[in-house]
Structure 1
Amino acid sequence: MEQREQLAKSLKPHWVWAIAFGSAIGWGAFVLPVDWMGMAGPLGVIIGYSIGALLMILIGVCYGYLIERLPVSGGEFVYSYYGLGRYHAFFCGWFLTLGYMSIVALNASALALLGKFIFPSIVEVGHLYTIAGWKVYAGETILACSALVIFAFLNIRGTSLSGFSQFIFCNGLVGGVILLTIAMFMHPTSSPAHLQPLFNPDKPVIVSILAIVAIAPWAYVGFGNIPQAAEEFDFHPRKSFSLIVTALLCSGLTYSVMIIATGVGMPWTSAVDAGYVWGTGVIVENAYGKIGVSLLTFALLMGIFTGLNGFYVSTSRLLFAMGRAKILPIGFAKLHSKHKTPYMGIFFTMAVTLSAPFFGREALLWVVDMASLGVTIAYFYACFVAYRLFNWSEQPSSQKEQLIVAPWKKFFSLLGVICSSSFFLLLVVPGSPGFLSKPSWIALLVWIALGAIFFLTRFKYYKEIPDEALDQYILGDHQKNDNERPSAPHKPTASATKVTSS
């Protein structure tokens, strides 16, 4: 059997927290507060994101269990293989790849949007064409593509460098948010009265809140980067759950603070009616002019940088894991000869996302909306596998499948299954607040068709890989836990005694 490449253990706990927190915040907290208030009102947004954070923590409980058991690159791809077999792993990995790549591309497009607001005379140069009502300029495509190339090479240079950089970017982000919030509250024209009405008066309160809860999988998706980096922890994977919870709570607090900081500066209904391209930017500029915009721009840049860097890490690790599993060409499983990073996955991510700025922001948003469905599917797989891993109580000795007796873990895993299923239904049930738009459904069908074509071309080879070999490729030394593994469709059920766990 060929040698299995492994990533070096070089990520410190605070770097991993920064990868999760910074990837969750990204650019949305600084660009979209006015749009979100238009959906639900200030309090509706805060309640929606708070509920979303709590629901994601329930899902995070499942991730904590699985990371401790399977601390290898690949995250949900690995978990779905471990619990349900190779074909489910392909399905999960395919959708998750799209979700991660879309977020890399969207962060690059947010940089172009920022450039249009700050330096329109430079960025809005060389009009190329208009797509879905969005004017695409050569200046913005150069800016976005440059960022994608720079962060690709940053990640290739080493995991320690990207982890340390992420921590620095997060410190800048937090500092910028704190200074901006204090400044907005201190301005003489700011007033808490501007937050009235607290909910969107044109919609029922519950509908408004659910519309925000529906986008929680996208808003908090950064915590899913922790399992992707698990193979590189220089600490015990048991600590991952506390890092997930802390990152989610900090993310929810940051979203709420930015809603309040934006809302107190100007009546939010007026900002919504004005239809600003960047409502938060206009409100801060009205209060503090170029100095205020510079502070907001700094915080936004840190958010964009953390999103780009964090999702380059997670996407490349997912592709690396799929390469080791022989789903993707073997080149994806190779490490850089000097820096020991999964350089093929990084280059591939860069190559694919470099095309995104040329499609315009509106078209890209359709893909990202659809990609949130893929991320939700990955959440479900992780929670369902965790649920199958545990048992409510000891079974009769005739039971052939060995499971861990852990009723509380099984209960929380069940809650995770319910939460992830609810997120999925909010996106696909007609009439629900988060129902995908028609263009997003078209993009989804295109991605499914591409996946089907790719799967059919690899099916014969993938099917013929022996179970033992595939276990070694995907799980490595952690296949030793196989006696505590739910029986998967591709494996015979093993007889064993019960194991009790607290």
Structure 2
Amino acid sequence: MENRVELKKTLKPMHVWALAVGSIIGFGCFVLPGSWLPKAGPMGAAIAFVLGAAFMLVIAYNYGFMIKNFPVAGGEFAYAYEAFGRNHAFVCGWFLTLGYLCLIPSNGSALAVLGRYVAPGFFTHGYMYSIAGWDVYLGEILLASAGILIFGILNYRGVQAVGSIQIVMSALLCGSVLLITAGSFLSPESSFSNLEPLFAPGKSILASVAVVLAIAPFLFVGFDTIPQSAEEFNFSHDKSLKLMVTAIIIGGLMYAAVSLSTAVVAPWQQLIAGKPVWATGQAMHQTLGAFGLLFLMIAVLMAICTGINGFYMATSRLLFSMARSKVIPSFFADVHPKYKTPYKAILFILVISLIAPWFGRQAIIWIVDMCAVGTAIGYLYTCLAPYVLHKSNPGLEGGSKAKIVSVLGSLFSIVFLVLLLVPGSPAVLEIPAWIALAAWVAMGLAFYATMAKRYQQIPKEELDYLVLGELSPNTIRRKV
């Protein structure tokens, strides 16, 4: 049995928490309120975010259980392997890779969108072509590529630096949101009457909440950077659940706060009726002036950068784990002799991410929409795994409660998949996203066909060791 390469334990609790919070709060938190308000109303959107956070807390409980028992890189890939075997592990890992990988260029291209607002005309130089109605400029490609490259270098040079800079950026993100929220509600122009109607006109309360709740779970993608980095924790894995819970709660509150802050400063229906380029930006500028807009810009920039940073971490650790388990080429499992990072996996992610901005923002959005399927599949496998483990260990203390939470989390995950895949759903994929999903499935089948023979021939004892390492004697295992 060959030696199993492992990652160095250097991450502290604050590093991990910042990775989760920064990955949860993305560009959409500050750009999409203009779309959410007419669909749900201010209170409908806020309730949807709180409920979405509550659903994710149930799923996070299952993640906490699995991290405690299987503290290895790869997260959901390892959990699927332990509960359902090697073939399911490949399926989970393949879809999850896509779910994480596409979020890096998505955040990179968001830099170009921010550039259009902050410096109109500055980055829109060197017009090249249009894809799906989106004009592609060389200046914006260079801006997006710069962000992707900077964080690629940071991740290449060591996880401790990644964690430290994530703490700073997440602090700026949370602090800026707190300031603009307080400023909005304390402004003389603000009034609670501006929030009326609280829900979307012509819709019931339930319908108003449901339309945003349908997409809310996908806004919380990012807390699952925690299981991907579990192998590098330099602290007890028992703290994982608390870190995820606090990150999700803060994420839900921040989404709700930004939406309410946008609506409270002026009658929100009048604000939306003007079809502003950026509703939140206009609201902050007219009430808080240049300083309010400055803090909003800082929040948006930090949301983009923390997302790029966090998903570099998550994607590289997933590829590392799959390569170490011989599911994909061992190339991705090579660890840098000095920096102790899976540097070849990071370089691969960097190259792929630098290609994406050339296809334009709209094409990337279609792919990102499709990526939500991958993360939902990861949720489902993780929530099902505790049930399987408890079923094979019937005398386990607290087993009944854990199985109930496992079933609930699995049902929520299935609902998320239904919302994405069933026609008529508020979050159903568009046709281009379906095409991208079909292409990814076809690529997975072709890839697995080339790897299956070698993968299936690995003895179970060896594969257990490669995927899960040397586990504690008290670890709950599936009885086979």
TM-score (structure 2 length as normaliser): 0.96
Q: Equivalent residue for 1:312?
A: 312
Alignment of 1:254-403 (within 5 A): 254-391=254-391, 394=394
Following the alignment from structure 1 to structure 2, what is the Cα–Cα distance between the partners of residues 313 and 108?
Answer: 15
Q: CA deviation at 1:345?
A: 1.5
User: 1:277-336 CA distances to partner (integer Å, 9 max, x unpaired)?
Assistant: 322112222334433322211111111111111111111100110110111211111111
Give, in angstroms, the shift of residue 423 of structure 1: 1.4
**CA drift at 1:123:** 0.8
SS of the equivalent of 2:130 reads strand
Matched residue, 1:485: 477
Equivalent residues of 2:20, 2:244 under 8 A apart: yes
Structure 2 equivalent of residue 226 of structure 1: 226
- Structure 1, residues 56-81: CA drift from partner, whole Å, max 9, x if none? 10111111110000000001000000
AA of the residue aligned to 2:171: N
Stretches of structure 2 that go unaligned for 5 or more consecutive residues are none
User: Are positions 1:444 and 2:452 aligned together?
Assistant: no
Equivalences, count: 480
Alpha-carbon distance in structure 2 between the residues aligned to 1:270 and 1:361: 29
Question: What do you get for the CA RMSD once the two structures are aligned?
Answer: 1.8
Could you say if the C-alpha distance between residues 207 and 444 of structure 1 is closer, same or farther in structure 2, counting changes exceeding 3 Å?
Answer: farther
Correspondence list, 1:427-438, <5 A:
427-438=420-431
* Separation (CA, whole Å) in 2 of partners of 1:424 and 1:437: 14
Please name the residue that 2:413 is paired with.
420
Note the C-alpha offset of 1:448. Answer: 1.0
1:499 maps to none
Question: Matches of residues 51-66 of structure 1 in structure 2 within 5 Å?
Answer: 51-66=51-66
Equivalence map 1:175-190=2 (5 Å): 175-190=175-190
1:467-490 deviations in whole A, cap 9, x for unaligned?
A: 1111111111028668x4335xxx
| Residues in 2 aligned to 1:40 and 1:345: alpha-carbon distance in whole angstroms | 41
Name the aligned partner's letter for residue 132 of structure 2: A
Q: Give the Cα separation in 1 of the matches to 2:166 and 2:108.
A: 16
Matched, 1:465 2:458: yes
Which residue identity lines up with residue 465 of structure 2 in the other structure? Q
| Aligned residues of 1:392 and 1:405 also touching (Cα < 8 A) | no
Q: Tell me if 1:15 matches 2:10.
A: no
For the residues of structure 1 that align with 2:120 and 2:232, how far apart are their CA atoms? 41
Q: How far does residue 193 in structure 1 lie from its aligned partner after superposition?
A: 2.0
Name the SS of the counterpart of 2:427 in structure 1.
Answer: coil
State the Cα distance separating 1:128 from its structure 2 match. Answer: 1.1
1:390 touches 1:405 (CA, 8 Å); kept in 2? no
The 3-state SS of whatever aligns with 1:130 is strand
The within-5 A match list for 1:170-209 is 170-209=170-209
1:59-109 per-position Cα deviation (integer Å, ceiling 9, x unaligned): 111111100000000010000001101111111111111111121111111
**Local SS of the residue matching 2:294:** helix
Preserved CA contact (<8 Å) 2:53 2:217: no
Are the structure 2 counterparts of residues 11 and 381 from structure 1 closer, same or farther at C-alpha, using a change threshold of 3 Å? Answer: same
Name the amino acid aligned to 2:443: L
Matches within 5 A, 1:69-88: 69-88=69-88
Structure 1 pair 440/276, CA: closer, same or farther in 2 (3 Å)? farther
Q: Determine the structure 2 residue equivalent to 1:400.
A: none
Q: Distance in 1 between matches of 2:197 and 2:361?
A: 30
Amino acid at match of 2:445: A
Separation of aligned partners in 1, 2:394 and 2:101: 43
Deviation string, structure 1 residues 415-444 (Cα, Å, up to 9, x no partner)? 111111111112222222222222221221
Aligned partner of 1:398 in structure 2 is none
Match of 1:237 in 2: 237
User: Deviations for 1:92-133, whole angstroms, at most 9, x for unmatched residues?
Assistant: 111111111121111111111100101122111111111111
Quick one: which amino acid aligns to residue 486 of structure 1? R
Measured in 1, the distance between the counterparts of 2:265 and 2:131 equals 33
Corresponding letter in the other structure for 1:389: L
The residue number in structure 1 matching 2:122 is: 122
Alpha carbons 2:317, 2:342 under 8 Å: kept: yes
| CA-CA distance at 1:350 after TM superposition | 1.2
Deviates more, 1:165-174 or 1:451-460: 451-460
* % identical equivalent positions: 46
2:157 corresponds to: 157
- Aligned AA (1:411): I
Which one-letter code corresponds to 2:222 in the other structure? G
State the shift of 1:190 in Å.
Answer: 2.4
* Deviation of the 1:392 alpha carbon: 9.8
In the superposition, the TM-score normalised over structure 1's length comes to 0.92
Runs of 4+ aligned residues of structure 1 deviating over 4 Å after TM superposition are 392-395, 479-482
Secondary structure (helix, strand or coil) at the match of 1:123 reads coil
- The question of whether the paired residues in 1 share the 8 Å contact of 2:392 and 2:478 is answered with no
The alignment partner of 1:348 has SS state of: helix
1:169 aligns with 2:169: yes
What's the counterpart of residue 453 of structure 1? Answer: 446
Say if 2:323 and 2:330, in contact at 8 Å, map to a contact too. Answer: yes
Counterpart of 1:485, as a letter, is R
TM-superposed deviation, 1:16: 0.7
DSSP-derived class of the 2:218 partner? helix
Q: Secondary structure at the match of 1:128?
A: strand
